[in-house]
Amino acid sequence: MQKLLIAVTAICFVIGCSTQNPNPNNNGNNTNNVTYTQGPNVSDFDGNVYPSVTNCNQTWTAKNLNVSHYRNGDVIPQVTDSAQWANLTTGAWCYYNNDPAMGVVYGKLYNWYAVNDSRGLAPTGWHVPTDGEWNKLVKCIDNNTDTSTVGWQNSTAGGAMKETGTTHWITPNTGATNSSGYYGLPGGIRSENGQYNLISNRGYWWTSTETNATDAWYRPLHNFTTDIPRNYSYKRCGFSLRLVKD
């Protein structure tokens, strides 16, 4: 099985990655009936406040994580150098393109080692969602989704999870309704080699579930489809994070 299943060959920057075209049936014409209610606000160690939404018997933060300390107060290192990033086996974060202004909108990008650190990224009572919790959310939004598969899932759930319009997403932002209240933003990624890519095109979110010693599961949203594939990638990559209530 190949890594970082991406949809356009132009951004095939991960060694051994494969390319896929979006399912032509996912043209944004499908709908779903998911609704949400406002959940409690939650604050991280640094005092950042995150709104949350409740749907499908889960409560998720509706904004990307932006914390720079573990739950116990220990600092999560900020790593700006690409070569240093590429050799990490411990937790770290960065701003997209090393630009703090990006953090105001999109939050920080974290490698998976920070996700897995026993000191915890999330405030007490919250955690980084597992692959199973992501699958539950996606399946609830679009019951026809086969969440057991890897790669494209012929789902409309991604449209329900994307912020509407093109303030942050580039056109066409296919099928975006934000009916789940997730407010998914295209915060881009930092590759395992330390390169930045895909801002305004895609958002990638880690799960807390690893696939093997080098890889972990993640979920991406794309500007050109309503699908939300289930993929895995190198733990050295920098992706966004959301939290789910215990």
Calpha distance 110→93 (Å, rounded): 4
Quote the pTM value: 0.89
Question: pLDDT category, 144, cuts 50, 70, 90?
Answer: very high
User: Does the pLDDT of residue 8 top 90, yes or no?
Assistant: no
Residue 186: partners with Cβ closer than 8 Å, 6 or more residues away: 106, 168, 169, 170, 198, 199, 200, 201, 202, 203, 221, 223
Calpha distance 236→32 (Å, rounded): 35
> Which tokens go with 145?
């989704």
Query: 14 or 126: whose pLDDT is higher?
Result: 126
Calpha distance 239→229 (Å, rounded): 15
